[in-house]
Amino acid sequence: MVQLFSRHRQQIVSCDTPGMSTLRDQALESFLKLGFPNTKMEAWRQTDLTECLARGYDYPVERMPEEDTQKVFRCNIPHLDTAIIGQLNGWYVSKDVPLMELGNGIIMGSLAEAKKKYPELVEQYYGTVADSTSEAFTALNTAFAQDGVFIYVPDNVQSPKPVQLINVIQHDENLFLQSRNLIVVGKNARLSLVHCDDSYNHQASFSNIVSEIVIGDNAFMDHYKLQNLNNSSTLITTTCFRLGAAASLESHYLSLNGGLLRNNIRLHFNGPHGIANIYGIYLMDGKQHIDNQVFIDHAHPHCTSNEMFKGILDEHARGVFNGHVLVRKDAIKTDARQSNRNILLTDTAKVNSKPFLEIYNDDVKCSHGSTTGQLDNEAMFYLRQRGIGEDSARMLLMFAFADEVVGKIAIPQLRQRIEDMIKKRLQGELQICEACVLHCSTPEQPVEFYIDLSKI
């Protein structure tokens, strides 16, 4: 790693400001101290990376030639009007316009390019939200990441349509990717971001994505993370949010497929009256592994946070949830909720759940809940009694279970699309196929349950 870094140093730091390259050196140093996480560490106890790391990977340091973007990014959501930006193997797909500046002051494009063009703006935020000193993957990312997406929404500007960021991995070799995103939503601004991680073929990959998201005072952000990757891909995402006073965030983690997924979500309230809702749904089967780590730092009074993570685990899948809410001494009137619900469909699936509350203040309302079980027998009986076949009834119940999370999606077209995908996923039809990640031969036609309505 170090050799790799020193060999390509020139190339890696080519877009950096001097401050940033110091940050890189420091991060590399802390990564060398920390090393790759192992299962002896409390935060990684349930997620073993040995196998994933043992696969050989290529470390691309050069921008790869852009493929036919139309081919790669052809999966779109019907009727969803978004500003699409793409990332291929961690690099921003520029289509010759590396950085777009929209009329209303919104800047959107490649982070590498932004570092060159707006060094002051980037430097103001870059590396201030993510912690490169104690988290190995963040440190590694800070040391190596060259490109990613930069979105800047100035104060008092509302992004007219949702931004859709599609990150596709497509390469003939196994890739080890580091990509870094920086998203800044100014005061009183508004942004809706749909962030998709998809793989294109069945090649193994290891992605380490760090996103820093700064949400200004009174701003609002609607954030969707959609993960649909092949079974040999490893995806470590670290998303660090910083919320200003009275800012609000709606974040949705929708994990449908992936070999090993680890979502580190770090949220820091940087002012009073912030509101954060974080929802997650994961549907895992085969030997898939999902690990959601949510840390919420209530450092200021009158903030509200709500976590709801639900999962359905089939076959040999494994689901891990670690929630940590820290309420600091002065954070009075904090209202924090955590909930994690799991359904196990087989005896070989596994769940580890650790909702953890750490509270140093008496004027708070905090609660957490965790359940693990199976589909409700009575509900099952009720449906079957009304002539619904066992399979359909089970689908319906699972869908209803997932819908509590999916129903929170605020963009109607996206919600419709995710609902369809979840239906497909539950029927085992959502696959990573050769031609298209979001296998959708007839995207216009929603999936139906096989229910004879006349009998109901």
Partner 1 sequence: MESDSNKIIDEVTRGDYKYGFVTEIETEFAPIGLCEDTIRYISDKKREPGFMLEFRLKAYRHWLTMKQPDWAHLSIDPINFQDIIFYAAPKKKKDLSSLDEVDPELLATFNKLGISLDEQKKLSGVAVDAVIDSVSVKTTFTETLAKYGIIFCSFSEAVQNHPDLVKQYMGSVVPYTDNYFAALNSAVFSDGSFCFIPKGVHCPVELSTYFRINAANTGQFERTLIVAEEGAYVSYMEGCTAPQRDENQLHAAIVEIVAMKDASVKYSTVQNWYPGDKNGVGGIYNFVTKRGICKGSNSKISWTQVETGSAITWKYPSCILMGDNSVGEFYSVAVTNNQQQADTGTKMMHLGKNTKSTIVSKGISAGKSQNSYRGLVRVSKNATNSRNYSQCDSLLLGSLCGAHTWPYIQVENKSSIVEHEATTSKISEDQLFYCQQRGIDMESAIGLIVNGYAKEVLRQLPMEFAVEAQKLLSISLEGSVG
Smaller CB distance to partner 1: residue 22 or 371?
371
The interface region with partner 1, picked from 179-187, 203-211, 369-377, 433-441 by CB under 8 A, is 369-377
Residue 344 sits in the site that holds partner 1 (CB under 8 A): yes
With contacts defined by CB under 8 A, name the span among 241-249, 273-281, 363-371, 445-453 that binds partner 1: 363-371
Tokens found for residue 360: 């140093």
By CB under 8 A, tell whether 363 contacts partner 1. Answer: yes
345 forms part of the interface with partner 1 (CB under 8 A): yes
Which of 179, 178, 228, 176 has its CA nearest to residue 53? 176
Q: Which residues of 32-41 are buried (b: 16+ CB within 10 A; e: fewer)?
A: eebeebeeee
Give the tokens for residue 23. Answer: 């940050």
Using CA atoms, how far apart are residues 350 and 328, in angstroms rounded to an integer?
33
Joined tokens for residue 404 = 């509590």
Going from the C-alpha of 1 to that of each of 8, 27, 57, 58, the distances in angstroms are: 11, 13, 12, 12
Map residue 408 onto helix, strand or coil. coil
Residue 293 binds partner 1, judged by CB under 8 A: no
Longest CA pairwise span in the chain (Å): 71
In the complex, least distance from residue 341 CB atom to partner 1, rounded to whole angstroms:
10
Q: Interface with partner 1 includes 261 (CB under 8 A)?
A: no
Instruction: Give me the least distance between CB of 375 and partner 1, in Å please.
Output: 10
Contact 331, 299 (CB under 8 A): yes
| Options 75-83, 154-162, 296-304, 337-345: segment touching partner 1 (CB under 8 A) | 337-345
Token pair, residue 433, equals: 């196929």
Q: Does position 40 bind partner 1 by CB under 8 A?
A: no
Q: Is 286 in the site for partner 1 (CB under 8 A)?
A: no
Q: Does 358 bind partner 1 (CB under 8 A)?
A: yes
State which of positions 41-60 bind partner 1 (CB under 8 A): 42
Among 360, 381, 382, 450, binds partner 1 (CB under 8 A): 360
Select from 369, 387, 412, 446 the one that contacts partner 1 (CB under 8 A): 369
Q: Give 56: exposed, middle or buried? Use CB within 10 Å, 0-12, 13-18, 19+.
A: exposed
Round to whole Å and give the CA distance between 375 and 354: 22
With CB under 8 A as the contact rule, the residue among 32, 43, 53, 359 that binds partner 1 is 359
The continuous run of DSSP H or E covering 367 comes out as strand 364-373
Q: Does 62 bind partner 1 (CB under 8 A)?
A: no
370 touches partner 1 by CB under 8 A:
yes
Q: Looking at 39, 371, 427, 445, which residue binds partner 1 (CB under 8 A)?
A: 371
282, 289 in Cβ contact below 8 A?
no
Q: Is 357 an interacting residue with respect to partner 1 (CB under 8 A)?
A: yes
Whichever of 134 and 348 has its CB closer to partner 1, that residue is 348
**Binding residues for partner 1, per CB under 8 A?**
42, 329, 332, 342, 344-374
